[in-house]
Structure 1
Amino acid sequence: MANKITRPLGTEDVTPKQIYKWYTVERLARETAESFGFHEVRIPTFENTNLFLRSVGETTDVVQKEMYTVKAKETEFTLRPEGTAGTIRSMLQNGMLNDALPQKVYYILSCFRHERPQAGRLREFHQFGIEMAGSQGPTSDAEIIALAKTILDNAGLKNIALHINSIGCPTCRAEYHKALRAYFTPRKDELCDTCLTRLEKNPMRLLDCKSPICAEIGKDAPLILDYLCDDCKAHFEKLQEYLRAMDIDFMINPKIVRGLDYYTKTVFEFITTDIGAQGTVCGGGRYDGLIEQMGGKPTPAMGFAMGLERLILTMESQGCDFEQPKTCDLYIAPMDEAAVPKAMQLGQTLRVSGYQVEYDLMERGLKAQMKYANKIGAAFVMVLGENELNTGKAKLKNMQTGEQTEIALDETFEEKFDDIAVQFMFHDIVEDFEKECQL
């Protein structure tokens, strides 16, 4: 017997039994973003590799170790490892930055990174992200953070901590890089090979190294907050003022540097400990130099990305509510071949009105059809046989209460079914309300 083909390591299937959880978080994210004035953008799954080399940064782990890159004839393409670079490329290429500013977009997309799979971290993963281009003030930083927090709040999450930091501007970082090199150079023989390269090219990346040895060496490293210029310091202080004005709790974490080179000034993370280990549910910040770096005019910008797998894991661990999957409204059980055309006609009539209708496709007997109707959670069942076809009437059975209602199989069928279904839904709403009142 041949070996079964299985999905690649670091990927997951989303089955019909799980998809409703994805619908829940995607709807929450979309509706919240749109309430803040953001609009959806969709970009290609792969881009020219040079886009990520220029934007993400050649010293990052993403570029050095994690990108999936292929050559097609003379052109090199890379599956997107994140959403910001492609979105900014799209803004530039489609002239969006010539329109009214700020430009505010969101996306839901899959990303690809070759890293060690673990809970909430896959090689193919999904992100909800937002990007805002054109506004340089700390009001935008606060607005972006408020949007992310609103999504997490709407999802019902608890115990999510907001960590903020400022990593300054190129002027600040020039002095800070000198301080970091002075700190790490005496112990450079103990650093990993990757950090040895970073020491010269981008020493801030040393603070983000996952090696326990490098982390231990860096625990007492100088802090960027001690090197901020007056402008960056004022920006960061204003951000804190605005967050307090919106009653958003935060803690300053000077160790946050983010994993990508394009960040400047404000960086932030929403962190949870509810999925087995400390995990970032959402991370983002400001990247004022990225658009110019990619060939556009100097334009401030910022955004965040939220891992959907990790968000769902956190919601599951905290017992948050998900939308319930849509179930069958009516199952029509034809007793013989003669009843099948009528079952199909009635079913199609209700489907056009938005109802989910099924009928037998397996040539089952009536008893087996009833079992199937129970398994799929049909709200109503209607049996069609010779008697029903001759009289033009059938019994509609409420599978929850067992109550049966006679219904005509003529042009009034859709209207009559609609009335019965609405009464059924109203009964459920009242029942749920009474249960909540008792609680």
Structure 2
Amino acid sequence: MFTRVKGFRDIFGDEIPYWHKVEKSFHKVFKRYEYTEFKLPVLEKVEVFQRGIGDTTDIVEKEMFVFDDKGGDKLALRPEGTASIVRGYIENRLYTGNAIAKYYYYGPMFRRERPQKGRFRQFYQVGIEAFGSSAPSLDAEVIKTMQDIFDECGILDIVSLNINSIGCPKCRPLYKEKLISYLTDKKDQLCDDCLNRLNRNPLRVLDCKIDRCKSATRNAPKMVDHLCDECNSHFEKTKQFLTFFNIKFNIDPFMVRGLDYYVKTAFEFVTDRLGASSAVGGGGRYDGLIKTLGGPDIPGIGYAIGVDRLVTLMMEKNIPVNRTKKVFVVFFEETFKEGFEMIELLRKNDISTGFDYEFGNFKNQFKKADRNSADWVIIIGTSEKERGIVQLKDMKTGVQFEVKKEEIIEKLTL
């Protein structure tokens, strides 16, 4: 017997209605905010992520699934969506014109991480990207879309928003110097990975989840205390617009996110229901990324939500979801015509309908209806045929009653 690859999983059964609710929710929210869907390829040239995400990030150094194809290209399964959508935005010259471009994407991502609760090697993300404006009001509106999705999914009360400003290329170098100086005195407390990051990418040390590294950085210098005037003004205005949008937030001065392209605003919605994997969704501003990947100097901001984690929270909270009502039609050789007409009528009205392909006796057909988890059974015998009615049985309560054939759809869809 074959088994799943480690870190990958099958999704089926009672979990599926939760996924459908998430999908319906984000489609609804993104329509309100004028976002259009962008479908991305699963494979990209590895350079897209090396240049976009950053060579010194954990994703590029450790976590990508990379292979050589027969044409000589080095390819990677996408570990995230932003670099891919920026590549598509540039390649398809979608930057012509002055309008702000708003896109959303949805699909599986791949990272060779250690599997744990809420974390898989194939995981699903839904995200948005907005190109063409550096306005703080856009930052706040982007965050509002994520809040609206969590509200639609019924988990807004168990997540909280953390925000930070991580500066820009003008003010970050001085902060890095101070951070390196501080961390150098704490070298004996840092893990091997953070020792390696210390001079190459010291901000990554602030993102480390190992306890002794978190302890070492507890009193580290804060980026928000070293912002240039432009970044400070942007952050203050972003907080003001969040308040206008009635969004509650906490300032987390050590949140840096795990990708190198972020500047200025960074944000995460977090929960205490997922153990170490506390972030349900997050993102930030990346004003230099489009230029880095070969496009014009256009600002951008976006985020991604971990759908697997979102579904886990919804299931743990037992959020009500719409489950498909199933109907099973019981009929016999003498009522074939009426039985198949009924099946066709139900299916044309989008009602999930089954029947016994072997046309067993009455008892056996009811057993199959029960095994099929039918909510309703429609019975069409010779008596029902002659009178132009059907028997409708509620399988949950056991109540059975007569219904005119022309009224059956109305009865089942109430």
TM-score by length of 1: 0.88
Residues 377-388 of structure 1: matches in 2 within 5 Å? 377-385=373-381
Q: Structure 1 pair 100/418, CA: closer, same or farther in 2 (3 Å)?
A: farther
Paired residue secondary structure (1:14): coil
Residues 265-344 of structure 1: matches in 2 within 5 Å? 265-277=264-276, 279-321=278-320, 323-328=321-326, 330-336=327-333, 339-340=335-336, 342-344=338-340
Match for residue 417 of structure 1?
Answer: 408
Aligned partners of 1:393 and 1:406 also within 8 Å: no
Aligned partners of 2:332 and 2:359 also within 8 Å: no
Partner amino acid for 1:10?
A: G
Return the offset for 1:284.
Answer: 0.7
Match for residue 114 of structure 2?
Answer: 116
Aligned partners of 1:383 and 1:394 also within 8 Å: no
Aligned partners of 2:378 and 2:392 also within 8 Å: yes
Return the offset for 1:277.
Answer: 4.7
How many pairs were matched up? 410
CA distance in 2, matches of 1:420, 1:186: 74
Match for residue 196 of structure 1?
Answer: 195
Q: Does 1:154 align with 2:152?
A: yes
Partner amino acid for 1:352?
A: K
Match for residue 141 of structure 1?
Answer: 139
Q: Which of 18, 38, 41 is the aligned partner of 1:41?
A: 38
Residues 353-432 of structure 1: matches in 2 within 5 Å? 353-385=349-381, 391=386, 393-399=388-394, 400=397, 402-405=399-402, 407=404, 413=405, 415-422=406-413, 425=414
Residue ranges of structure 2 left out of the alignment (5+ in a row): none
Partner amino acid for 2:57?
A: T
Aligned partners of 1:68 and 1:78 also within 8 Å: yes
Return the offset for 1:208.
Answer: 1.2
Partner amino acid for 1:325?
A: R
Paired residue secondary structure (1:346): helix
Deviations 1:81-115 (A, max 9, x none): 01111111111112221145211111111111111
Residues 164-243 of structure 1: matches in 2 within 5 Å? 164-188=163-187, 191-243=190-242
Aligned partners of 1:161 and 1:271 also within 8 Å: yes
Match for residue 431 of structure 1?
Answer: none
Partner amino acid for 2:261?
A: Y
Return the offset for 1:188.
Answer: 3.6
CA distance in 1, matches of 2:3, 2:74: 28
Q: Which runs of 4+ in 1 moved over 6 A?
A: none
CA distance in 1, matches of 2:250, 2:51: 32
Partner amino acid for 1:8?
A: V
Q: Which of 45, 64, 76 is the aligned partner of 1:78?
A: 76
RMSD: 2.1
CA distance in 2, matches of 1:272, 1:11: 23
Return the offset for 1:226.
Answer: 1.4
Return the offset for 1:401.
Answer: 6.5
CA distance in 2, matches of 1:205, 1:275: 22
Q: Structure 1 pair 320/385, CA: closer, same or farther in 2 (3 Å)?
A: closer
Paired residue secondary structure (2:216): helix
Partner amino acid for 2:273?
A: D
Partner amino acid for 2:197?
A: R
Q: Structure 1 pair 193/406, CA: closer, same or farther in 2 (3 Å)?
A: closer
Residues 32-111 of structure 1: matches in 2 within 5 Å? 32-73=29-70, 74-111=72-109
Return the offset for 1:267.
Answer: 0.2
Aligned partners of 2:34 and 2:102 also within 8 Å: yes
CA distance in 2, matches of 1:271, 1:368: 51
Q: Structure 1 pair 180/367, CA: closer, same or farther in 2 (3 Å)?
A: same
Aligned partners of 2:117 and 2:277 also within 8 Å: no
Match for residue 131 of structure 1?
Answer: 129
Return the offset for 1:365.
Answer: 2.6
Paired residue secondary structure (1:132): strand
Paired residue secondary structure (2:21): helix
Paired residue secondary structure (1:397): strand
CA distance in 1, matches of 2:190, 2:402: 77
CA distance in 2, matches of 1:223, 1:173: 11
Return the offset for 1:419.
Answer: 4.0
Q: Which moved more, 1:26-35 or 1:343-352?
A: 343-352
Aligned partners of 2:118 and 2:277 also within 8 Å: no
CA distance in 1, matches of 2:393, 2:337: 23
| Identity across the alignment (%) | 37
Aligned partners of 1:327 and 1:377 also within 8 Å: no
